[in-house]
Chains A and B, each alone.
Chain A
Amino acid sequence: METVATAVEREPRTYLNVDHTLKSWLLTEDHKRIGILYLIVITIFFAIGGLFAALIRIELTTPAGDLVESSVYNRLFTGHGIIMVFFFLIPSIPASLGNFLIPLMIGAKDVAFPKLNLLSWYLYVIGGSMALTAIIYGGIDTGWTFYVPFSTGYASGMVMLTLVGIFINGFSSILTGLNFMVTIHRMRAPGMTWFRLPLFIWSLYSTSLIQVLATPVVAVTLLLAALERGLHIGIFDPALGGDPVLFQHLFWFYSHPAVYIMILPAMGVTSEIISTFSKKEPFGYSFIALSSLAIAVFGFIVWGHHLFVSSQSVYAGMVFSILSYLVAIPSAIKVFNWVSTMYKGSVELTTPMLYGIGFIGLFTIGGLTGLFLASMGMDVHLTDTYFVIAHFHYIMVGGAIMGFMGGLHFWWPKITGKLYSETWARLSAIIIFLGFNLTFFPQFILGYMGMPRRYHVYAPEFQVFNVLSSAGASVLGLGYALPLVYFLWSIFFGKKAPANPWGATGLEWQIQSPPLPENFEITPVITEAPYHYAPSEEVVHVG
């Protein structure tokens, strides 16, 4: 009798409890465990990058350079940029949530190349450790953009080690993209047609396309910069017969699409969240799906808008300007469709939904201020000022990180099998939203007033808005610290999560939380569209 009772109460087999050894984690080929490995490391990088940002904001509360010296300040913003862009934002959603969810959402047992998936994580950790070592011991002061000839001939510090670290990390990104593309092409369950794919999958497919095609370019460019610094080969430095503007073209050929690597997955998360918590299929599913692809493709041909004042020809500038406006249209389509999804829905303001609508608001401001910078005459005044800083933080923090946080809260019950405190989580979502706006909105004004970016010491008339921004940053810091606490709390003390706490229709919600190691007991057969909330005969047509 007693043994039977124990057997009944024993926890069901999950991917988490099959094996508890450290080795079983470090040598795992399970996409879900690899997703968690990524989640742990990107969280560490986010914390370090955030610490650098905190020091920057403290320094900027006064116009004088009184907290640190200029050489240290320059190392702080360089470290902040490199860590956040290459080692947090780029891998954030795809490598953690994407890894965890792609096979679950398409009805597969794993990704196409599980060993390659683990290799990607190791490359990321190795590259990240090298860059972090360089940034902490000695530091580098090139800015995350590595503009030549400064980075190749003038910068001090461990530039070489950083470049090699980013180069190695690039392979992680390429392999992850490749793995996801093959998985989405080849591993879909029977009946999972392209237009039955969840929108999150569409966004990750577009992201992978960029990762595979653009990353090699930045890898080669940074390798050339490293060779120029070490061997003086004369590609970029005019003193060696090179062309410094060539570097900028090559760098932005990757680094502009890289912005879409960061934002597209967050758009995918938002599509899932808005639909789930409006209990309605996304308005304009195919427009949202295809606009992701359009953004990925157009994103490759707008890099020249970073070079309007770099002596690029007027006519090249005009082409890049008009293309930059065209890439904005698919984003506008997405925003209108998300808002329309809420129309006549059954809206529930859960934590993920707060992040979802927060994303729409902040991404809208980030995207619209991009229109200022795509306008050439306007950009001449605004480029390299705090306006640009504010704009891309609205996209990358207001957009990508809000999406990441939203996704994490949305799928946390599925990933851990535990529920977090909804009260604390909603509170922190609101704190983050308010703190974010207080931090970055004043920077738009600073930018128009003419405060250049990367300034350690600044003119006194800029102080008021800098103080506001630093005040906002402390609120934002609190907002980011809270989830760390209640997420950890939920792992140990949280209530058990049911299989489908949100009443969502996605395939990943139809299996147990946390999932089995092999995801599905039997391969599912898909017979319906992904968001079947209402019976299909009850459809209202507008337009």
Chain B
Amino acid sequence: MEQKSIQFFPEQASTIAHSVDGLYLYLVLVTAFFSILIATLIVIFAVKYRRRADTPTPKAVHGGLWLEITWSVIPLGLSMVMFAWGASIFFTESRPPADSMEIYVTGKQWMWKIQHMEGQREINELHIPVNRDIKLTMTSEDVIHDFYVPAFRTKSDVLPGRYTTEWFHATKTGAYHIFCAEYCGTKHSGMIGTVYVMEPQQFDAWLSGGGGTGTLAQKGEALFSQLGCVTCHQATADVKGRCPNLHGIWGRPQQLTTGASVTVDAGYVSESILNPSAKIVAGYENIMPTFSGLVTAEGVTELVEYVKSIGPAPGAPGSAPAPAAKGAPAAKGAPAAKGAPAAKAAPAATVKP
């Protein structure tokens, strides 16, 4: 990263980077060909047909339809390749592999806050293992930010009030830039950081050092009782409280008073904490106060992980069929594209001692 020689490309450090650079090469070749073709023709015509004292008025030249069609269809064909190739890469980019390692990211003027499942936190640094699918679930505490890692050729906007995801598979150990790519105010250009891609053993050593305050879900559980959520929301199976029972609720559809249905995911849980009256589960009163301002975005993340951990995971024996891959809250008009956390085995399985 700190090379002194002139660079023309960023490091190629993820699987996506390889595909994007391939597409880039195609685009450069096609566009260079047409640029040179046009420039050459202009120069040739300007020289060959330059006006001399004795040049007569040239005859009119009329084109035919086939010529116009030819120079429309060839560029159209070439550009459809660009479309299909780009769309296929984008499809890959927007579908995190199911067994990705999950990490939460919160953007805030002007810093990146990272939360690992195991409880580790970092600011403006992201430590990840090499050769592993990593999925970031991201939200913002204030304005729109964008988490951009040029060496991975990927970025995604980070929005307040909803979760977006971004995933990558680093192929090379090293340190790479994190940039905020969506203008976010005075210190926008200072909202930068570093991704450290490490060998798995080193990463495990890093992960087990310094932490020790419990997993995200455990922190969420503590927050759950601290905020008094527990007085209305039951967490054990088959106990009815004043508010919906959270046991095994993750990934399942909930019937709302409006007749619509919503799948319980990070976006919905977050919205229910910060803006509880937005969606009321059928059979319950609109009695919950907002916790906006009482709980940080990171706290919401911990609560989300706690809710996810209560009861059997969807798909496990005895649980209802769950359309888990659904996206951010349906009412926000952002369907499946940037799915909120998909169903995953309970995080407890990966907890470090």
Contacts and interface: CB of A to CB of B under 8 A. Distances in A.
B160 A149 contact: yes
B90 interface: yes
Contacts of B89: 376-378, 380
**Highest count of chain A CB atoms <10 Å: which of B24, B59, B334:** B59
A533 B58 contact: yes
A36 B109 CA distance: 46
Given A313-B335, A361-B39, A378-B27, 13 more contacts: A147-B143, A154-B143, A154-B185, A238-B161, A239-B160, A281-B60, A337-B68, A371-B27, A376-B89, A377-B19, A377-B90, A380-B155, A384-B182
Contact of B27 (A65, A70, A375, A536): A375
Contact of B51 (A344, A346, A542): A346
A392 B109 CA distance: 28
Given A283-B61, A361-B38, A312 B148 contact: no
Interface residues of B, number: 102
Contacts of B83: 321-322, 325, 374-375
A374 B94 CA distance: 17
A349 B46 contact: yes
B188 A455 contact: yes
B300 to A, nearest CB: 13
A452 B34 CA distance: 28
A459 interface: yes
Contacts of B91: 314
Nearest to B74: A332
A349 B181 contact: no
A241 B60 CA distance: 63
Interface string B44-62: 0110011100011111111
Contacts of A310: 157, 159
A464 B6 CA distance: 7
A539 B50 contact: no
Contact of A346 (B55, B179, B336): B55
A310 B75 CA distance: 29
The interface residues of chain B, by DSSP majority, are classed as: mixed
A375 B82 contact: yes
B148 A450 contact: yes
B10 interface: yes
B153 A381 contact: yes
Contact of A380 (B41, B71, B90): B90
A540 B67 contact: no
Contacts of B213: none
A371 B146 CA distance: 23
Interface in B1-39: 1-3, 6-10, 19-20, 23-24, 27, 30-31, 34-35, 38-39
Size class of the A contact interface (CB-based, 8 Å): 35 or more
B239 interface: no
Given A317-B337, A347-B46, A375-B23, A284 B63 contact: yes
A367 to B, nearest CB: 9
B334 A378 contact: no
B102 interface: no
A216 B138 CA distance: 35
A348 B58 CA distance: 13
A446 to B, nearest CB: 10
A365 B35 contact: yes
B79 interface: yes
Interface centre among B8, B31, B55 (most CB of A within 10 A): B31
The 6 tightest CB contacts between A and B, nearest first, are: A450-B150, A377-B89, A238-B161, A375-B86, A543-B64, A543-B67
A371 B60 CA distance: 34
Given A340-B61, A346-B58, A539-B60, A452 B179 contact: yes
B71 A449 contact: no
Question: For A155, A318, A536, which residue has the most chain B Cβ atoms within 10 angstroms?
Answer: A318
Given A314-B94, A448-B24, A376 B86 contact: yes
A457 B110 CA distance: 14
Contacts of B39: 361, 364
Interface of B: 1-3, 6-10, 19-20, 23-24, 27, 30-31, 34-35, 38-39, 41-42, 45-46, 49-51, 55-68, 71-72, 75-76, 79-80, 82-83, 85-94, 109, 142-144, 146, 148, 150-151, 153-157, 159-162, 164, 177, 179-190, 192, 275, 278, 292, 327-328, 332-338
Nearest to A369: B31
Contacts of B92: 377
A313 B23 contact: no
B189 A368 contact: no
A534 B60 contact: yes
A119 interface: no
Contact of A344 (B58, B179, B333): B58
A34 B335 CA distance: 50
Contacts, number: 321
Interface of A: 65, 70-71, 74, 141, 143, 145, 147, 149-150, 153-155, 238-239, 241, 243-246, 278-281, 283-284, 287, 308-315, 317-318, 321-322, 325-326, 328-329, 332-333, 335-337, 339-340, 342-349, 357, 360-361, 364-365, 368-369, 371-372, 374-381, 383-385, 445, 448-450, 452-461, 464, 533-534, 536, 538-543
A339 to B, nearest CB: 5
A529 to B, nearest CB: 10
A542 B64 contact: yes
A330 to B, nearest CB: 9
Contact of A385 (B61, B144, B181): B181
A329 B76 CA distance: 7
A365 B179 CA distance: 27
A205 B51 CA distance: 33
Given A239-B160, A245-B159, A376-B89, A312 B334 contact: yes
Contacts of B45: 339, 342-343, 345, 347
A372 B78 CA distance: 12
B101 to A, nearest CB: 21
Given A238-B159, A539-B60, A244 B71 contact: no
A371 B180 CA distance: 24
B90 A452 contact: no
Given A321-B87, A381-B153, A371 B10 contact: no
A311 B35 contact: no
B2 to A, nearest CB: 8
Contacts of B72: 329, 332-333
A542 B190 contact: no
B189 A70 contact: yes
22 contacts: A70-B186, A150-B184, A278-B58, A279-B57, A308-B90, A311-B334, A333-B72, A339-B42, A340-B61, A342-B41, A343-B45, A348-B51, A364-B39, A374-B86, A376-B90, A377-B92, A448-B9, A454-B183, A533-B60, A538-B59, A543-B63, A543-B67
